[in-house]
């Protein structure tokens, strides 16, 4: 029992959110950084009239008991598309508007008073805020955007493959690649030069190890792509999760070289954990590439390929991927075999499937183009103003639009939108963009904040109920357990304050009495308290803002 009260939130995969009712007990703080959440019974939402200068102060018509019991003013669902039976539909309770007195009639025969000139306020830029339900779709000639992440064990060849794709699609020219090759040869790292297109800092290049998730951009005739190159070492799993939260498709890179496959998959390598975390982070499709097929120990052997596939596929299906969501192919990231051009039959006569780029070009991904703007912020920088980076999960944003940052409720004007190296006027769902803001300082923004509409801000919570599945945990878990939560691009320390219902695996029914503890393989509804306010939405409405992963013990 004492193990469950561990207060050291280091990092091990624990759970994925699947279904829950979320009780909002706090909204955004007014300071630059959200204040730490505490108990209490204040109103569920803190409306301020400062966003409508002509309105009177909003006064809630309900109150919350001052007892320590958790507030239940608003309920959201952080659940899966298959909620457990007996689960109530999410309900949003709002106060009825207060009656407003009619304006007094004008008096015609009133003595004129002396007119005192008043200062003229400075002109204010018009607020451009699109209707919440506007459906802005792709115009003619605009290419669809796809975000892909390279996953896998360290030294599987992720950065080399990503760099070679950038070269094959013309994003890195031949002269630059020849320069990388000369520099890598001088360092005795000749075979690493392709990875330098993504590994940009000197430490990554000298060690041949990606430490931060890198970004690359390329285009084909049909699509625009953002490459997210995740670090493979277990020390950098939090960076991998930050990248996976922005991806639509995962490319799981597996080395076929003798000994490397076994190290990455069978001996506690990162192949297993990356696959699991990709699923919990919301990566919808998975392409498994058996890499290094050109290696002298492999030589495009079908037997070795089948051996790797036979061992990895049961695990991939076990974490929740369906057969229709998985594609498998042999490749060589170093030689470029089967990346853009089909395999030569003289080299490999047993594979007749598509190339990697062809598969990515023709992959169908559902998008929610309508709805309010929601863009979790993955990073920030200073560049002629405050610039935020992220993937738009819902809605669209226009140049000149006034937006709100949650959970600190700061407003700002969009002065520029950049995609790759060009500036655009509109960005929509699925786009991975950089947005320059006016009216906020860099210190006002943090990774994990969400850029949204003023009319419909994202919910901010510091306590909620969620259904979690305990996928991997050595001991038992009980109330008081602490962990680290990864939700979209936010990372926060959390505590499971109570176990509410056990979920029957066969019937999906909730237990009448709360369990005293849970263990690996169990599904349970819990109450989670967050150390600081975090943005979250019902899973059924916005999955990327409604799913999360709990980790502990550095795994």
Residue 125, domain member (yes or no): no
Domain that holds residue 175: 144-361
Q: What is the pTM of this model?
A: 0.71
Report how many helices (DSSP H) and strands (DSSP E) the chain contains, helices first: 8, 23
Q: How far is the C-alpha of 17 from the C-alpha of 296, rounded, in Å?
A: 44
Q: Identify whether residues 175 and 255 lie together within a single domain.
A: yes
Q: Identify whether residues 438 and 480 lie together within a single domain.
A: no
Residue 126, domain member (yes or no): no
Supply the CATH number for residue 223's domain.
3.40.50.300
Q: Identify whether residues 357 and 427 lie together within a single domain.
A: no
Residue 128, domain member (yes or no): no
Read off φ and ψ for residue 549, nearest 5 degrees: -125, 135
Residue 322, domain member (yes or no): yes
Q: Identify whether residues 204 and 316 lie together within a single domain.
A: yes
Q: How far is the C-alpha of 394 from the C-alpha of 30, rounded, in Å?
A: 25
Identify which has the larger pLDDT, 382 or 197. Answer: 382
Residue 211, domain member (yes or no): yes
- Mind listing the pLDDT tens digit for each residue in 505-546? 888 899 999 999 999 889 999 999 999 999 999 888 898 899
- Mind listing the pLDDT tens digit for each residue in 150-169? 998 888 888 889 889 999 99
Q: Identify whether residues 163 and 247 lie together within a single domain.
A: yes
Of 452, 471, 499, the last residue of a domain is 452
Q: Identify whether residues 352 and 396 lie together within a single domain.
A: no
Residue closest to 243 by CA, chosen among 366, 381, 356, 391? 391
| Cis upstream peptide for 407 (omega within 30°) | yes
Kindly write down the DSSP assignment for every residue of 399-427, as one continuous string.
TTBEEEEETTTEEEEEEEEEETTEEESEE
For the residues 471-498, what does the mean pLDDT come to? 91
Q: Identify whether residues 381 and 353 lie together within a single domain.
A: no
Residue 242, domain member (yes or no): yes
Q: Identify whether residues 36 and 169 lie together within a single domain.
A: no
Strand order in the sheet with 223-229: 214-219, 223-229, 144-151, 249-255, 285-291, 326-330
Residue 247, domain member (yes or no): yes
Q: Identify whether residues 397 and 290 lie together within a single domain.
A: no
* Structural domain total, the chain: 3
Q: Identify whether residues 503 and 469 lie together within a single domain.
A: yes
Of 435, 452, 469, the last residue of a domain is 452
Which of 199-203, 387-391, 455-459, 479-483 shows the lowest per-residue confidence on average (mean pLDDT)? 199-203
Helix axis angle for 302-318 and 270-280, nearest 10°, is 40
In this predicted structure, the answer to whether residue 288 has a pLDDT above a threshold of 80 is: yes
Of 361, 393, 418, the last residue of a domain is 361
- Mind listing the pLDDT tens digit for each residue in 354-364? 999 999 999 98
Q: Identify whether residues 154 and 75 lie together within a single domain.
A: no
Q: 144 by DSSP, 3-state: which?
A: strand
Q: Identify whether residues 352 and 205 lie together within a single domain.
A: yes
Residue 262, domain member (yes or no): yes
> How are the residues of the chain apportioned to helix, strand and coil, as percentages rounded to the nearest 5?
20, 30, 55
Question: 422 forms bridges with which residues in the sheet?
Answer: 419
- Mind listing the pLDDT tens digit for each residue in 414-471? 999 998 878 999 999 999 999 999 999 999 999 999 999 999 999 999 999 999 999 8
149-186 CB burial, b ≥16 within 10 A, e <16: bbbbbbbbbbbbbbbbbbbebebbeeeebeebbeebee
Supply the CATH number for residue 396's domain.
2.40.30.10
């Amino acid at each position: 029992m004492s193990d469950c009260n561990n207060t050291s939130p280091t990092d091990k995969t624990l759970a994925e959110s699947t279904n829950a009712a979320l009780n909002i007990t706090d909204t955004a703080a007014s300071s630059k950084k959200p204040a730490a959440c505490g108990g209490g019974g204040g109103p569920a939402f803190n409306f301020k009239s400062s966003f409508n200068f002509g309105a009177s102060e909003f006064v809630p018509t309900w109150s919350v008991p001052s007892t320590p019991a958790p507030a239940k003013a608003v309920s959201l669902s952080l659940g899966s598309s298959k909620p457990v039976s007996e689960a109530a539909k999410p309900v949003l309770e709002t106060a009825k508007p207060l009656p407003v007195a009619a304006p007094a009639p004008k008096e015609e025969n009133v003595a004129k008073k002396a007119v005192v000139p008043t200062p003229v306020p400075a002109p204010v830029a018009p607020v451009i805020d699109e209707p919440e339900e506007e459906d802005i779709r792709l115009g003619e000639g605009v290419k669809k955007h796809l975000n892909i992440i390279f996953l896998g064990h360290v030294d599987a060849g992720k950065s080399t493959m990503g760099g070679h794709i950038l070269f094959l699609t013309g994003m890195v020219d031949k002269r630059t690649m020849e320069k990388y090759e000369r520099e890598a040869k001088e360092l005795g790292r000749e075979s690493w030069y392709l990875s330098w297109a993504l590994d940009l800092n000197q430490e990554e290049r000298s060690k041949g190890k990606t430490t931060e998730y890198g970004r690359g951009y390329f285009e084909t005739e049909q699509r625009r792509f953002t490459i997210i190159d995740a670090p493979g070492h277990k020390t950098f799993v939090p960076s991998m999760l930050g990248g996976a939260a922005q991806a639509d498709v995962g490319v799981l890179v597996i080395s076929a070289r003798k000994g490397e496959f076994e190290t990455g998959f069978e001996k506690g390598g990162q192949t297993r954990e990356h696959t699991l975390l990709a699923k919990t982070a919301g990566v919808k499709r998975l392409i498994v590439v058996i890499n290094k097929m050109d290696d002298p120990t492999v030589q495009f052997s079908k037997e070795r390929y089948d051996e790797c596939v036979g061992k990895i596929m049961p695990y991939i299906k076990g974490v929740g991927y369906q057969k229709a969501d998985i594609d498998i192919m042999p490749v060589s990231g170093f030689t470029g075999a089967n990346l853009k051009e089909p395999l030569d039959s003289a080299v490999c006569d047993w594979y007749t499937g598509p190339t990697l780029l062809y598969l990515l070009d023709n992959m169908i991904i559902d998008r929610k183009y309508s709805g309010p703007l929601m863009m979790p912020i993955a990073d920030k920088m200073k560049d002629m103003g405050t610039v935020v980076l992220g993937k738009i999960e819902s809605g669209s944003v226009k140049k000149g639009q006034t937006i709100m940052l949650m959970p600190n409720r700061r407003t700002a004007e969009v002065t520029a939108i950049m995609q790759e190296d060009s500036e655009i006027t509109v960005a929509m769902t699925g786009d991975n963009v950089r947005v320059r803001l006016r009216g906020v300082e860099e210190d006002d923004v943090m990774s994990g904040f969400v850029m949204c509409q003023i009319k419909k801000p994202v919910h901010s919570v510091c306590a909620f109920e969620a259904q979690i599945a305990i996928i991997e945990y050595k001991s038992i878990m009980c109330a008081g357990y602490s962990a680290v939560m990864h939700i979209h691009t936010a990372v926060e320390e959390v505590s499971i304050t109570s176990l509410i219902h056990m979920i029957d695996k066969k019937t999906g029914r909730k237990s009448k009495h709360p369990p005293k503890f849970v263990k690996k393989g169990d599904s349970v509804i819990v109450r989670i308290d967050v150390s600081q306010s975090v943005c979250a939405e019902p899973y059924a409405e916005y999955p990327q803002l409604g799913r999360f992963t709990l980790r502990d013990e550095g795994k």
